[in-house]
Amino acid sequence: MKFGTKTIHAGVYPDPSTGAIMTPIFQTSTYVQRSPGDHKGYEYSRTHNPTRTQLQNALAALENGKHGLCFASGMAAIDAMIKLLNPGDEVIASNDLYGGSYRIFTKIFQNYGLKFHFISMSEAANIEKFINQNTKLIWVETPTNPLLNIIDIAAAVEIAKKHNILLGVDNTFATPYLQTPLDLGADLVMHSLTKYMGGHSDVVMGALIVNNDDLAQRLSFIQNASGATPGPQDCFLLLRGLKTLHVRMQRHCENGRAVAEFLKNHPKVEKVFWPGFSDHNNHEVARKQMCDFGGMISFVLKGDNMQDAIRTLEKFHYFSLAESLGGVESLCGHPASMTHASIPREERLKGGLSDSLIRLSVGIEDIEDLLADLEQALN
């Protein structure tokens, strides 16, 4: 199947009892057994739920993986992934990453004996400098949040395999519409399904997708034992959102390109971060591992003044000032005080995230209205 057909058909099937074309919401906590241990594959809905099963199968199919596991949020998915490790283990992560990831690494898991190195991965070779006998995981975001840095997944995989280290990729910004990290050799893919995969700003959920059977079994144990699983209503909403992922992403990319070019040519804008520009760092890598460049854009105004940035954010009409991204509606945000506030200011500045950076999640509205909104806000 081609990708657009996969989003609608892969991993799902009509309900065998009724023929319902949409997966039913199995709103039940438990399942009747014929005899102790003699059941139809379902015992308790924290462990398995038929609605969640079909969603997990669909996600695995879209990422060209064998196993999908859903969690109550993207952070719950990351939490499960880190629980694969033991005290004394070390993780190498990109230094430009989502603030929530940084927070759970440094404020939660560091207290349990794990060590984290936050480094620039723009040159994949830099990763090798931080590897030692305790390194057990390389954690990659690409494009990164919020500076849209591009990391060469295949090059990072080569280093990870050389040292027998797990490599995970946060694929939230790109989605499998733009890139499939498992095909490039990654061991694990994570999504905040809240964003593009759901696409309608009405559900919070996360997922992990893997190929390795043993890794899937270990993660499934953690999923059930820790219990951070989503309910069937949320799984139903995600299944519905997935069916339009390909057409939404196409429009996000088209609008994103138009907005990026508009901002780059605007007299009040100093710098635009968007991997589709030929002068963007690692643009050629992006062209190699992505089929397009997405709808996430960040920019800095001339003068790099935080108050000017805040005034601009307050003036938007169609770009709503809100946390999150990837919905059909356009959003704007101020990473330094919103999504990345949990990262110390000196660390943010060291990674290139200034106090005046504005991040846009370009939606699927008519592009003329979005450009007009940008013009009036900037002026």
* Kind and range of the H or E run holding 69: strand 67-71
User: Of 6, 98, 196, 234, which one is the catalytic site residue?
Assistant: 98
The two tokens of residue 78 are: 């990351």
- Per the annotation, the verdict on 195 as an active-site residue is yes
Going by DSSP bridges, is the β-strand pair 188-192/166-170 parallel, antiparallel, or unpaired? Answer: parallel
Which of the 8 DSSP states describes residue 188? E
Catalytic (active site) residue 98:
yes
* Catalytic-labelled residue, pool 79, 96, 170, 292: 170
Task: Give the Cα separation of 71 and 235 in Å (integer).
Answer: 10
One-letter identity of residue 211? N
Closest CA to 249 of 286, 199, 180: 199
Q: Dmax over Cα atoms in the chain, in whole Å?
A: 73
36, with CB counted inside 10 A (0-12, 13-18, 19+), is exposed
Sheet of strand 188-192: strand arrangement: 67-71, 206-210, 188-192, 166-170, 135-141, 90-94, 115-119
Yes or no: say if 295 and 329 are a contact pair by the CB < 8 Å rule.
Answer: no
Q: Among 6, 136, 195, 348, which one carries the catalytic annotation?
A: 195
Cβ pair 324, 335 in contact under 8 A: no
Collapsed DSSP state (helix, strand, coil) of residue 59: helix
Closest CA to 228 of 35, 86, 359, 46: 46
Burial class (CB in 10 A: 0-12, 13-18, 19+), 279: exposed
At residue 70, the 3 state secondary structure works out as strand
357 and 298 in contact (C-beta within 8 Å)? yes
46 annotated active-site: yes
- The reply to whether 31 belongs to the active site is no
Q: How far apart are CA 349 and CA 133, in angstroms?
A: 30
Structure tokens at 89: 């283990």
Q: Single out the catalytic residue among 15, 46, 218, 315.
A: 46
Residue written as token pair 């007009």: 372
The residues carrying an active-site annotation are 46, 98, 170, 195
